[in-house]
Structure formats: C-alpha cells, structure tokens
Amino acid sequence: MADRIPLDQARCIPRRGHEHRLGEARVRELLAQVDGWELAEDGHAITKTFRFPDYYHTISFVNALAHEANREDHHPDLSVHYDRCMVRWSTHDCDGLSENDFICAAKADRLA
Ligand code: HBI
C-alpha cells in the first residue's frame, strides 16, 4: 500500500483476520518510519520504552496515550513505572502486526 499520509496522521480501521497480518518486508518498511521501536522476538509486536523525569510526566503520557487508543479503538499493552512506560503494540484480531500498530506507534511518538 502506498504511504499516502504520515503514519501519525493516519486513522486506524478494524483489521480482523490473518489477511491483515503484515509480512516481514512491510514490517521492516514501517519500522523505518517510526522512531526507536523494536520488533518483539516472536515478530508479532513492536515495543518501545518511553522515559520521563518523574511519575507525574509518566502518568500524563499514559493518560494521553489511553485517550488516543480509545479514539483509534486500538489498544496497547503497557508496563508503567515511576519514570518510564513500556508500550507494546500488536493486533489481536489478526494474531500479529497490522498497519494499526505502526499508526499508533507514530502517534505515541508524537505524544511523547
Ligand atoms: N487493540 N491492540 C489491539 N488489537 C486489536 O485487535 C483490537 C484492539 N482494540 C479493539 C479491537 N481490536 C476490536 O474491538 C475492534 O473493534 C477493532
């Protein structure tokens, strides 16, 4: 699919079924369009740890990300600590990575 608009301006759509699961080439292409995200060992998720000066900033980020996740109807797994938050994106509906995960990763980068 041609990348018509920047990932952080794109919107998620429901992507149910294995036909929406991204292949390795497209995953690599999209990884290059986001900042500092790593592919999980099983290849079914991308992760990144966002670091903050204190708990107040960490929770502010978590709240903003939760708002975006609800707006996009696409939700991350989060590991929240005093000065950092690990974000993990994967698309349960296709048992792997979809375009939605990279759209939301780009939105998380913009929030941070
Ligand atoms: N979030 N990460 C993730 N993966 C999904 O497959 C997913 C979701 N949030 C909502 C959702 N699926 C369904 O409720 C559909 O509405 C998209």
What are the structural domain ranges in the chain?
7-13+39-111
7-13+39-111 CATH choice from 1.10.3720.10, 3.65.10.10, 3.30.70.870, 3.30.1360.20: 3.30.1360.20
Segment 22-31 shows an average pLDDT of 97
Mutate to test the pocket of ligand 1, among 92, 98, 100 (most ligand atoms within 8 A of CB): 92
The pTM of this model reads 0.94
The pLDDT tens digits of the residues spanning 34-85 come to 999 999 999 999 999 999 999 999 999 999 999 999 999 999 999 999 999 9
Mutate to test the pocket of ligand 1, among 71, 90, 93, 104 (most ligand atoms within 8 A of CB): 93
Q: How far is the CA of 46 from the centre of ligand 1 (A)?
A: 16
- What is the CB neighbour count within 10 angstroms for residue 9? 11
Whose C-alpha lies nearest to ligand 1, atom 17? 14
Contacts of 55 (CB under 8 A, 6+ apart): 82, 83
